[in-house]
Amino acid sequence: MSRIEQLIGEIEEYIDSCKYQPLSNTKIIVNKEEMEELLVELRLRVPDEIKKYQKIISQQDAILADAKQQADSMLADARQQTAEMVSENEIMQQAYAKANELVQQAQAQADQILNSASQEANSVRMSAMDYTDQMLASVETLLSNSIRDQQQKFDDYINSVKGTYSIVSGNRRELQNSLRQSTASAPEAAEAAPEAPQDDIQA
């Protein structure tokens, strides 16, 4: 089992072990620092795993080249045997028939080696691509869940700020209305106050 598979297993076990949020059956309480440590290590391991399987895929060229070399060697041996056998006139026809048989056998074996090597290389490539796709799908799911959780926390925070803002704005409007009412009633009170009596001045 690769380290990436172990990390994915650890993340899944950690998520399963997390407690649900109050009044919720879908949202859980996650230790952000611990989750970030697992995701950081996973992010660092992914390129190494991909390079590993890219190396396996690249080996198919070496497999095919080795098979071709073996086929060429067998064909060369067959041609050499043919040349040696036809050098004598007495057994020319027999040598020719034997040479053709050797060439056909060598060609058949070479074709078989090439086909086997090609099938093996394709099998390795498909297995590596399938594993890489599964691995990336798991990473994509984890990252998507993490983004969704962070977005939900951000939305909750924004809603809380908006609620506080509405309360503050409402209190300020009430205060401004009170100030305007107080300012408007002050002149009316001054006009309603009685004037002080003045003593008559004797000439």
Distances (CA, A) of 8 to 19, 90, 135: 19, 75, 9
CA–CA dist 46, 115 (Å, integer): 33
User: Hey, which of 119-128, 160-169, 182-191 has the most confident mean pLDDT?
Assistant: 160-169
Query: What pLDDT band is residue 59 in, cutting at 50, 70 and 90?
Result: confident
- For the cut 60, the answer to whether the pLDDT of residue 113 exceeds it is yes
Q: Under 8 Å CB-to-CB from 139, ≥6 apart: which residues?
A: 8, 42, 46
Mean of pLDDT over the chain: 78
Three-state DSSP class for 194? coil
Tell me the domain boundaries of the chain. Answer: 1-128
Residue 102 has pLDDT above 60, yes or no: yes
Tell me the average pLDDT across 28-46.
81
pLDDT confidence of residue 201: 42
Beta bridge partners of 113: none
Token couple for 86? 């036809």
pLDDT band at 88 (very low <50, low <70, confident <90, very high): low
Percent of the chain with pLDDT over 70: 86
- The whole-angstrom distance between residue 79's C-alpha and the CA centroid of its chain comes to 55
**Higher pLDDT, residue 126 or 49:** 126
| pLDDT tens-digit map of 163-172 | 888 898 888 8
Per-residue confidence band for 202, with pLDDT thresholds at 50, 70 and 90: very low
- Give kind and range of the element (H or E) at residue 202: none
Q: For the residues 61-82, what does the mean pLDDT come to?
A: 83
Q: Taking the model in full, what pTM does it have?
A: 0.37
Nearest 5°: the CA angle 84, 86, 90 is 120
Sort residue 23 into left (φ over 0), alpha (ψ -120 to 50) or beta.
left
Q: Tell me: pLDDT of 173 over 80.
A: yes
Q: How far apart are CA 50 and CA 132, in angstroms?
A: 7
Which residue from 112, 44, 32 is spatially nearest to 74, judged by alpha carbons?
112
